[in-house]
């Protein structure tokens, strides 16, 4: 491992371009990221929070109206007992997959580019999972007995039914939320210490100091910290793959044609990653511009996300086609009808919206120029999420609206409460995300410093060879 | 005896006793991770054990330079995982086969197959909680009071500065000699940290 003495940078020839551009040093990164939590937010932030908190108020009013009147205020009725609330639940839980994928799976694969986006993606995950947990909770109708889903001793001396996939879902999504939360918090601790050490007023120092837990960046602490981070990544990796698998069991364990298929778990997981990355992209394209951190979240980062969207979108499209093939190959009449009805029945408009948004549109990402075009990325990221909402609509509603008994067949129509609740859930999501942008470092400061070549002691030991 | 053991355990967390005269330790600043790792190597070779480096990000190779072994968090996590697995198995078996058996389509009251999702979830949950709890425990966190916070320069340990701290509780500690050793290793500034609320800065 002899290296010549005049070589200043230890990166081998032909290495990847630097992850952080603009020649930023350690202090520049601290400054660039922390500064936004310390100054007055830009006016775009105020405009955004005005809109999102209005939507949040609408959500709260809709929930109050729902709890008072019962779930008859929604379009759910026979035969479509699972309408928009379940569509929205699956939609939000899917979006909540990108964060932990980025923080856990990309960490295990040593994808260093994740450091620029993992913090905001994890925050987004948490808020999306909050939105997701909301829908089944209000969907039970009698929200005041929602604790029956948890194994808590009660006056009826009854327990939850552990053989039900709906109960697995309660566990899967709650555990996912808790594990994502502590993963996110562990990552935040060193950055909260940074904010504490920069704080100029006592209140700020106390609040950040409280949550920083007295972190001093001691190497004895980093040693346990890094091990814990690795372990959490290893634990969260199967977890993130399991959550949407369990969500898909809600459908797949049942006997409804179009739901009862073994392809559901991998197909749902791919779709979740697909929609999650799209949402991360929508949010980060705006945030990096408004907060001026294009040197940390670079064009290369966006391009890598576009490649993941292309990959997972193609996987999802492949699953759509496989479903059709299997329906034909199975020779089961009901299964064949369910799929023909999807593509040609009364909901064909929803089906073809889904197909074009999810399978066709991302194919443009084969072209490098489009992968690096901010307007195109932004439009695609929104189109993908529209498509993914329709995917859940297609799965949930189309399979249900043709019951086994033709006399029950009906066409599902949402009510205004359905529409406003969905819009309101975006208000909840965006309000939480905007509060996060305002008060917490949106980029993992310590982790981004680690990907600078200057963070490696070998950078300074030019002629040393015994350390390799 | 017990007090000695507690002190030793605390030292592994980076929590040290101050000397009778209130001196907590010496805090030396280095200009970059390269000189810091060399200094840590020298300090360890000189027989010091109650010392630590404070850096804005973990430094590759520092554990070896400081003579630290593997982190114990993994064992704690394993215990957590086994607890979670045991809890989930017991919970599902006891509630549905012992306390309130319900016959649903003649299915067995308890079987492994439908129990796997909950077993998996609780294994992951308790592993993660034990991993994080164990990490904080081994690190002696939360630690609201730390004499190092009296140093003004130390606020940069979470920004762009690289510090090495030798605690006064180390048996080799000597105010003058240790300070000159830190300087020889390339320190740009050395501070004496007092437990009584101040620090003295000795410029190079």
- Complex ipTM, two decimals? 0.91
Q: Do A213 and B120 count as a contact with CB atoms less than 8 A apart?
A: no
pLDDT range class, residue A7, cuts 50, 70, 90 = very low
Interface contact flag, A231 B127, Cβ < 8 Å: yes
pLDDT of residue A83: 87
> Which chain B residues contact residue A104 at CB under 8 A?
none
The answer to whether A230 faces chain B, any CB pair under 8 Å, is no
SS3 of chain A = CCCCCCCCCCCCCCCCCCCCCCCCCHHHHHHHHHHHHHCCCCHHHHHHHHHHHHHHHHHHHHHHHHHHHCHHHCCCECCECCCHHHHHHHHHHHHCCHHHHHHHHHHHCCCHHHHHCHHHHHHHHHHHHHHHHHHHHHHCCCHHHHHHHCCCCCCCCCCCCCCCHHHHHHHHHHHHHHHHHHHHHHHHHHHHHHHHHHCCCHHHHHHHHHHHCCCCCEHHHHHHHHHHHHHHHHHHHHHHHHHHHHHHHHHHCCCCCCCCCCCHHHHHHHHHHHHHHHHHHHHHHHHHHHCCCCCCCCHHHHHHHHHHHHHHHHHHHHHHHHHHHHHHHHCCHHHHHHHHHHHHCCCHHHHHHHHHHHHHHHHHHHCHHHHCCHHHHHHHHHHHHHHHHHHHHHHHHHHHHCCCCHHHCCCCCCCHHHHHHHHHHHHHHHHHHHHHHHHCCCCCHHHHHHCCHHHCHHHCCCCCCCCC
User: Percent of chain A scored above 90 by pLDDT?
Assistant: 42
pLDDT attached to residue A467: 46
> What integer is the mean pLDDT of A68-77?
90
Note the pLDDT of residue A5: 37
Contact flag B160-A231 (C-beta cutoff 8 Å):
no
The domain of A296 spans 41-456
Q: Which residues of A touch B96 (CB under 8 A)?
A: 159, 161-163
Q: What is residue A108's predicted lDDT score, i.e. its pLDDT?
A: 85
Cβ contact A219–B128 (<8 Å): no
Residue A228 in contact with partner chain B when CB distance is under 8 A: yes
At B22 the pLDDT is: 81
Output the pLDDT for position A256: 87
pLDDT of residue B102: 87
* pLDDT tens, position by position, A430-462: 999 999 988 899 888 888 888 887 888 888 776
* pLDDT band of A10, cuts 50, 70, 90: very low
**Residues of chain A numbered 148-187 and touching chain B (CB < 8 Å):** 151, 157-163, 165, 167-168, 171-172, 175, 178-179, 182-183, 186
In-domain check, residue A342: yes
CB contact under 8 A, B159 and A223: no
* Model pLDDT for residues A145-190, shown as the tens digit of each residue: 888 889 988 888 889 988 889 999 999 999 999 999 999 999 999 9
- Residue B3 has a pLDDT of 85
Residue A20 lies in a domain: no
Query: Each residue of A400-416: pLDDT tens digit?
Result: 888 888 888 888 889 99
**pLDDT surpassing 60 at residue A466:** no
Residue A388 lies in a domain: yes
Could you tell me the CATH number of the domain that includes residue A75? Answer: 1.20.1630.10
CB contacts of B90 in chain A (<8 Å) are none
What pTM, to 2 d.p., does this model score? 0.90
Q: Is residue A417 predicted with pLDDT exceeding 90?
A: yes
Asked if A419 is an interface residue toward chain B (Cβ–Cβ < 8 A), one would say: no
* Residue A8 placed within a domain: no
Average pLDDT over residues A220-236: 91
**Model confidence over B73-90: pLDDT tens digits?**
999 999 999 999 999 999
CB contact (8 A) between residue A218 and residue B60? no
Q: What is the mean pLDDT of residues A56-71?
A: 94
- B91 has a pLDDT exceeding 90: yes
How many percent of chain B have pLDDT more than 90?
27
Q: How many domains does chain A have?
A: 1
């Amino acid at each position: 491992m002899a290296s010549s003495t005049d070589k200043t940078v230890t990166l081998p020839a032909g290495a990847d371009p630097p992850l952080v551009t603009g020649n930023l040093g350690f202090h520049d990164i601290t400054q660039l990221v922390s500064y936004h939590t310390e100054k007055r937010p830009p006016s775009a932030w105020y405009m955004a929070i005005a809109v999102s908190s209005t939507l949040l108020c609408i959500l709260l009013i809709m929930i109050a109206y729902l709890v008072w009147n019962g779930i008859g205020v929604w379009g759910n009725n026979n035969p479509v007992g699972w309408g928009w609330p379940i569509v929205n639940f699956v939609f939000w839980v899917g979006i909540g997959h990108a964060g932990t994928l980025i923080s856990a799976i990309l960490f295990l694969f040593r994808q260093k580019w994740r450091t620029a986006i993992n913090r905001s993606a994890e925050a987004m995950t948490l808020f999306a999972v909050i939105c997701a947990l909301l829908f089944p909770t209000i969907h039970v109708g009698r929200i005041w007995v929602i604790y029956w889903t948890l194994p808590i001793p009660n006056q009826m001396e009854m327990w939850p039914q552990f053989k039900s996939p709906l109960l697995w879902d309660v566990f899967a999504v709650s555990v996912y939320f808790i594990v994502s939360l502590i993963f996110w918090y562990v990552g935040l601790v060193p950055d909260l210490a940074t904010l504490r050490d920069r704080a100029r007023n006592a209140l700020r120092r106390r609040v950040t100091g409280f949550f920083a837990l007295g972190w001093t960046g001691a190497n004895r602490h980093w040693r346990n910290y890094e091990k814990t981070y690795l372990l959490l990544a290893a634990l969260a990796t199967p977890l993130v793959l399991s959550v949407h698998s369990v969500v898909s069991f809600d459908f797949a364990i049942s006997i409804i044609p179009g739901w009862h298929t073994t392809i559901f778990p991998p197909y749902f997981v791919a779709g979740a990653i697909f929609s999650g990355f799209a949402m991360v992209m929508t949010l980060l394209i705006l945030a990096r511009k408004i907060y001026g951190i294009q040197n940390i979240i670079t064009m290369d980062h966006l391009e890598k996300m576009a490649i993941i969207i292309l990959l997972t979108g193609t996987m999802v499209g492949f699953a759509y086609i496989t479903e059709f093939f299997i329906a034909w190959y199975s020779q089961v009449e009901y299964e064949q009808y369910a799929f023909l009805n999807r593509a040609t029945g009364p909901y064909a408009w929803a089906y073809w919206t889904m197909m074009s948004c999810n399978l066709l549109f991302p194919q443009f990402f084969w072209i490098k120029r489009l992968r690096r075009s901010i307007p195109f990325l932004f439009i695609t990221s929104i189109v993908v999420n529209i498509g993914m909402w329709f995917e859940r609509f297609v799965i949930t509603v189309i399979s249900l609206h043709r019951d086994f008994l033709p006399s029950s067949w009906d066409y599902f129509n949402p009510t205004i409460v359905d529409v406003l609740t969905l819009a309101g859930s975006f208000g909840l999501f965006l309000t939480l995300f905007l509060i996060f942008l305002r008060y917490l470092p949106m980029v993992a400061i310590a982790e981004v410093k680690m990907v600078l070549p200057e963070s490696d002691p070998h950078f300074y030991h030019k002629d040393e060879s015994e350390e390799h | 005896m017990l007090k000695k053991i507690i002190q030793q355990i605390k030292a592994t967390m980076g929590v040290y006793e101050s000397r009778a005269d209130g001196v907590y330790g010496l805090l030396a600043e280095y200009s970059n991770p390269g000189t810091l790792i060399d200094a840590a190597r020298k300090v360890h070779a000189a027989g010091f054990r109650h010392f630590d480096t404070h850096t804005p990000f973990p430094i590759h190779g520092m554990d070896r330079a400081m003579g630290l072994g593997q982190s114990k968090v993994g064992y704690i996590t394993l215990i957590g995982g086994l607890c979670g697995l045991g809890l989930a198995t017991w919970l599902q078996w006891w509630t549905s086969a012992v306390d309130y058996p319900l016959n649903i389509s003649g299915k067995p009251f308890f079987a492994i197959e439908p129990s796997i999702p909950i077993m998996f979830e609780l294994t992951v949950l308790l592993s993660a909680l034990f991993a994080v709890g164990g990490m904080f425990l081994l690190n002696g966190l939360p630690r609201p009071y730390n004499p190092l916070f009296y140093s003004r320069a130390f606020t940069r340990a979470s920004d762009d500065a690289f510090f090495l701290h030798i605690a006064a509780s180390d048996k080799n500690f000597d105010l003058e000699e240790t300070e000159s050793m830190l300087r020889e290793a390339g320190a740009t500034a050395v501070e004496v940290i007092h437990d009584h609320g101040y620090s003295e800065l000795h410029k190079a």
